Structure 1
């Protein structure tokens, strides 16, 4: 089963959920606010993409923490993502063999669910 990680009121998460409902794809939703990701999950997601791709540079948390002004190492990015799950680009979609970050309708259509 596909797992969608994010927060309920995020527009991109809503689009992803709508996509799965429309295409009759079973999914499980995991709310970052109730169940934040652990270090193992963050590392698994980063392995299949990159740590930098997980960091949401457009979000309010990134701006609030003034991370644009910091020199971020991979270790510091990992620490921030663990401490502040709202920094993670949403949604994170886990399939059997793939991790999708963010909502991209074309990418979703091309994925074998």
Structure 2
């Protein structure tokens, strides 16, 4: 199981603590692989971009209008976190539903 997020993100830390044996991939150092990001975009759509983040608020309108995958390539911290890859399954965020689905809640 891989958890894509930021090592400094409190939500990612909570997920890692609950998901024993999971590997944290810090998206600032190691970007989410393109194919996986495309699959996540297809599954989660607009929810993949965190529009409440400090990074988002710092973008101008022209930047915000760019395609989500291009934005995430340039600003990996814009991704809603964590993105969890468990085999073929993808989960976004650390909601009670995700926790239950992964047996962590």
- 1:56 Cα deviation after fit: 0.5
The count of aligned residue pairs is 104
- Where does structure 2 lack aligned partners over 5 or more consecutive residues? none
TM-score (ref. length: structure 1): 0.78
CA contact (8 A) 1:7 1:13 kept: yes
Matched, 1:34 2:21: no
The residue correspondences of 1:25-64 to structure 2 (distance < 5 A) are 26-47=21-42, 49-64=43-58
What TM-score does the superposition give when structure 2 sets the normalisation length? 0.83
Ranges in structure 1 where 5+ consecutive residues have no aligned partner: none
CA separation of 1:44/1:102 partners in 2, compared to 1, >3 Å: closer, same or farther?
same
Matches within 5 A, 1:78-93: 78-93=69-84
Root mean square deviation, CA, Å: 2.3
